[in-house]
Amino acid sequence: MFNKIYLKLAALLLAAMVIMGNTSHDVYDQSKPTAELSDEIITISNQNVVDQIKSFQSHKEEILKDVSAKSSVSDIQTLRTPSERDPVTYTGKVSNYHTPEYVFKIADTSKIQITAEHTSTISTVIDYLLFSRDSSGEMHFYTDGDELPAGNYSFVVTTSKEEQIDYRYILSGIHFSEPPDTVLPKVTFNKPLDRVERVSSPITDITISGNTDSHSEITLNGGDYQPLSPSFDQSFPLKKGSNSIEVRSVRPSGNTLYDEFNPLSLDLTRIEGKDNYEISANVAKLLPDSSTILLARGDLFTDGLSGSSIAGLYQAPLLLTETEKLPLSVENEIKRRKPSRAIILGGTSSVSPQVEARLKALNIAEITRYDGPNRFAVSADVATHLNQSLGTKQSDTAIIASGLVFSDAASASSVAHKEMLPILLVGTQSIPTEIKTFVKNHPNVKNYVIVGGPATVSDAVVTELKTAYGKNVKRISGANRFEVGVNIADTFKLDKRNIVLATGFDSFADALVGAQLAASLSPMSSPLLLTTTNTLQPSTSNYISDISGFNQQIYIVGNSESVSPEVEDKLKGYLK
């Protein structure tokens, strides 16, 4: 069932697709009009409703057989319209948490007329679905003025609005087989008070209580449906983040109500370890399975940053290693994953042949190394391989960042991971030869997003990209590295439900591996924000405060020496 969290995510996804393009990532496009986005969101909502009803159909038929056996005809007929040929009026309340379905049967081919007489001032957000099902279960959709063959039909009222609004539809011109039932199941909920209840630690469950006059069933997070008694009071354990509780209620006539609750279990998680290497392995444990791993030197940030987009391409974790030896914690994670391919980022002076030999000993069949004489060459090599792998699906946008300061590129690397955008490293005042070669050889990459202010990537670089190569250039900057991270989150409209936080100073590895966690938490990536050890900077604090109504999960990557318990306590205060 369509829910508040999904609606907001759909809106964000649509906005992001407009800003970044769909197959194109042109950051210069303008947003669509609000009304157009609203129509698209309603379309998404309707499809979700269809999926829900379709999945319920076979079980609903079983329920109706059982309910009909226990009900008298008068139970169904008393509140029906008096004639098979009279217009039928459906009235009630609808929200994106509360969806009514009316069923009726047509005796012979009829031309339907559907009249909306909603009293709400926002009635334009109310929509309907009218459909029948053939013997194979396939749905056939109709609208006002269509010829409807004889058969069984469903009329579903939908909206993308969170609050309940009144609807009134009149269906006429139809020869009904029998007078349709215009009454819906009567279900009241006493708890929870809100459809989206925010539950903070130490509370880990939620109670659903109320009354129903119909056959009602409930499920948590897609599990098996369980029947509800006429007076119900049940508690459910919540998983971290967003949860979905669905209740569907059926009258003997087949009229159905679909109700949903989306409780949020708010939580802060710290991912730590005895060193950079163990932290990278612990982050990898939270990432999806993959047949590929990436390996980069753990005491130098550049190669790992350049590999963000390749990590996104293969959905591969970035693991960190010592130059001469594979750390035990990383080796154990590799054994757990059993990958068939490893990509080494950097030359043999960064990741030695001994480490490569150890990978082979771990039965990794395919080992590829992206390298070069310097960090800029490695960056260009990774970007070239990325675009070759993507072929016609490669982006027309690349990210430019300083190859001397890790923080700006780190903040953008979750976007690079998710969108598979190359990260090209440059000097402060100039574009290295290897990067120039990439720019020349990839004319399809027309847009370059520079992350960081002129102190890290000068205006001379901007001028050269524009004048020498004719590129579109946009800069995302800020007063400091913390503000740059916030501005990246705003520019790319990253998902506000989850935040990953890491130190913005010495322990660059935390941010490096934290970026891939941020990319994995949402279909559109979550922000990676930076902090000092003991204090949240104003830009970061204000951003988290402003989105606290959306935020569900905060992850700290790093030990307490990197991000202090005081900062952790401050962050917990936003999870309310």
Structural domains in the chain plus CATH codes: 11-197+247-262 (2.60.120.380), 267-572 (no CATH)
- Residue 41: the pLDDT is 44
- In the structure, what pLDDT confidence band is assigned to residue 11 with cuts at 50, 70 and 90? very low
Long-range contacts of 16-20 (CB under 8 A, 24+ apart): 16/492, 16/493, 16/524, 19/492, 19/493, 20/397, 20/419, 20/492
Burial of 534 from C-beta contacts in 10 A (0-12 / 13-18 / 19+): exposed
- Residue 3: the pLDDT is 43
- Residue 84: the pLDDT is 62
The amino acid that residue 105 corresponds to is K
| Residue 98: closest CA among 257, 325, 318 | 257
- 274 CA to centre of own chain: 31
- In the structure, what pLDDT confidence band is assigned to residue 45 with cuts at 50, 70 and 90? low
Tokens of residue 438, six digits? 């990439």
pLDDT tens for residues 114-138? 999 998 766 568 999 999 988 888 8
- With 50 as the cut, is the pLDDT of residue 336 above it? yes
pLDDT tens for residues 57-80? 767 777 777 766 555 544 444 444
The amino acid that residue 511 corresponds to is A
Out of 112-126, 149-163, 332-346, 421-435, pick the least confident. 112-126
Burial of 480 from C-beta contacts in 10 A (0-12 / 13-18 / 19+): middle
- With 60 as the cut, is the pLDDT of residue 43 above it? no
| Residue 255: closest CA among 188, 156, 112 | 156
Considering only CA atoms, give the Rg of the chain: 28
Q: Highest-confidence range of 193-207, 300-314, 339-353, by mean pLDDT?
A: 339-353
**What single string gives the DSSP state of each residue in 139-181?**
EEEE-TT-EE-SEEEEEEEEES-SS-EEEEEEEES--BSSPPB
- Residue 53: the pLDDT is 76
Out of 51-55, 132-136, 375-379, pick the least confident. 51-55
140, 133 Cβ separation under 8 angstroms: yes
Q: How many CB atoms lie within 10 A of CB 135?
A: 5
Record the pTM.
Answer: 0.74
Strand blocks (E) in 328-394: 341-345, 366-370
Average pLDDT across the chain, whole number: 88
More confident residue, 86 or 97: 97
Out of 33-37, 293-297, 333-337, pick the least confident. 33-37
pLDDT tens for residues 137-184? 888 999 999 999 999 999 999 998 889 999 999 999 999 999 999 999
